[in-house]
A and B are shown apart, each in its own frame.
Chain A
Amino acid sequence: MTGRRKLHWWTAALVAVMLALGWIMVAVPLALLLLKFVLYQAHKTIGIVIFALTCWRLLWRRRGGGTGLPPGWHGRAAAAVHAVLLVLLLAMPATGFLMSAASPSGVPTLFLGVIAIPHPIGPDPALFERLQVAHRVEAWTMLVVGLAHGAAGLLARRRMAH
Chain B
Amino acid sequence: MRRSILFLCLSLFSAPGYAAAAGLTYPVEPASTHIRFVVDHFGLFTTKGEFTTFSGQLFLDPDHPETAHVAVTVQTASVDTFWGDRNDLLRSPDYFDVGRFPTMAFTSNVVERTGPDTARVHGVLTLLGRSHDETFDAVLTDRKPDMAGEVANFRVTGRLLRSDFGMTAGQPMVADAVDIAIDAHIRLK
Is there a chain B Cβ closer than 8 Å to A2's Cβ? no
A116–B41 CA distance with the chains assembled, in angstroms: 14
**Docked pose: A105 CA to B173 CA in angstroms:** 15
- In the bound complex, how far is the Cα of B172 from the Cα of A34, in angstroms? 8
Nearest chain B CB to A91 CB, angstrom units:
26
Question: In the complex the two chains form, is A31's CB within 8 Å of B44's CB?
Answer: no
Q: Which residue of B lies closest to A123 (CB)?
A: B82
Question: Which secondary structure dominates chain A's binding surface?
Answer: loop
Residues of A close to B41: CB separation below 8 A: 37
Residues A33 and B44 in contact, CB atoms below 8 Å apart = no
Question: What's the tally of chain B residues with a CB closer than 8 Å to chain A?
Answer: 18
Residues A85-133 near B (CB distance < 8 A): 104-108, 110, 114, 116, 123
Q: Are B44 and A105 neighbours in the complex by a CB distance under 8 Å?
A: no
- Majority DSSP secondary structure for residues of B touching A: loop
Contact of A110 with B83 at beta-carbon distance under 8 Å, contacts A31-B89, A33-B173 already known? no
Contacts A104-B83, A110-B44, A114-B44; A31 near B92 (Cβ below 8 A) = yes
When the two chains form the complex, which single residue of B83, B92, B173 contacts A106, counting CB atoms closer than 8 Å?
Answer: B83
Interface flag for B174 (CB, 8 Å): yes
A30 at the binding interface (Cβ < 8 Å): yes
Chain A neighbourhood of B89, CB < 8 A: 30-31
In the complex, how many angstroms separate the beta carbon of A39 from the nearest chain B beta carbon? 13
Identify the A interface with B (CB < 8 A).
30-31, 33-34, 37, 104-108, 110, 114, 116, 123
Query: Given contacts A31-B89, A104-B82, A106-B82, could you give 10 more A-B pairs where the C-beta distance is less than 8 Å?
Result: A30-B89, A31-B92, A33-B174, A34-B172, A37-B41, A104-B83, A105-B83, A106-B45, A108-B44, A123-B82
